[in-house]
Amino acid sequence: MIDKRFESSMAAIADVTDGAVIMTGGFGLCGIPENLIRALTEKKVKDLTIVSNNIGSIDLKEGGAYGVALLFKNRQVRKFAGSFPGPVAKTDWFLEQYKSGAIELEIMPQGTLNERVRCAMAGLGGVYTPVGAGTILAKGKEVREIDGKEYVLETPLKADFALVKGCLGDRLGNLQYRYTARNYNAVMAGAARITVAEVEQIVEPGEIDPDQVHTPGILVQRIVKGEKYEKRA
């Protein structure tokens, strides 16, 4: 019997080691794998590379950190590859680590981030995108003219672990997302050596209509029911 279920978020990420490259789905705090991220903070792995659109969020009033911002606040991250560090980048603890060189940043256009991840998932050697041509984000990259237009070569972005979050999942790893929480989750699943999915509810195989499976189970190696959902908006 195929059973990709793990008993806890901690068990599902038990073999993540220091220095691992980790992709996390979500946009802002929408659709983030919050339980798996929490497990990474408890496991205290460090020198991580985080591939994500944002670096989580902060509460400017209460000073709290949410999502992958927790990993940055706990000084577990060496590098961020993504498109928009956002308000987190204004906190003292982030700025201090960034200025001292403890955190390296690789900033890319949002559409380039998701296509680079897709390249890794889809077995492609790269993609030529017109986005960024003529800007500083194309510096040092191959630029090719195709049909009279400039395109920048962007290479695959692959991870050791992709952490994604679905609404429903089954023991085979089939996933269904909910509304705009689909975002990067549907792209990152399959772009890593091991894709770990946390879901709000695990259902029996067949309960998700085959037409409504957004990520086929072949792209997911592990699935766990998230222990607790805060789902901050």
Interacting residue with other proteins among 21, 29, 164, 192 (CB under 8 A): 29
Q: Is 201 in the site for other proteins (CB under 8 A)?
A: no
Among 5, 10, 43, 98, binds other proteins (CB under 8 A): 98
3-state secondary structure of 156: coil
According to the binding rule CB under 8 A, does residue 111 interact with other proteins?
yes
Residue 84 found at the interface with other proteins (CB under 8 A): yes
Is 89 a binding residue for other proteins by CB under 8 A? The answer is yes
| Degrees to nearest 5, angle at CA 31 with 115 and 39 | 105
Contacts of 204 (CB under 8 A, 6+ apart): 170
Element spanning 111, H or E = helix 110-122
* Closer residue to other proteins (CB): 149 or 193: 149
Among positions 129, 174, 176, 195, the unique one binding other proteins when judged by CB under 8 A: 129
Could you say which residues in the range 41-70 bind other proteins, by CB under 8 A?
53, 57
Pick 146 or 233: Cβ nearer other proteins:
233
177-198 burial code (b ≥16 CB/10 A, e <16): beeebbbbbbbbbbbbebbbbb
Which two structure tokens, joined as six digits, stand for 89? 């980048």
Per-residue string for binding with other proteins, 135-164, x by CB under 8 A? xxx---------------------------
Nearer to other proteins, 13 or 35 (CB): 35
Q: What is the DSSP string of 30-90?
A: BT--HHHHHHHHHHT--SEEEE-SS--EE-TTT--EETTHHHHHTT-EEEEEES--GGGGG
Task: By CB under 8 A, name the binding residues for other proteins.
Answer: 27-31, 53, 57, 83-86, 89-90, 94-95, 98, 105, 107-112, 114-115, 118, 129-137, 167, 178-187, 214, 231-233
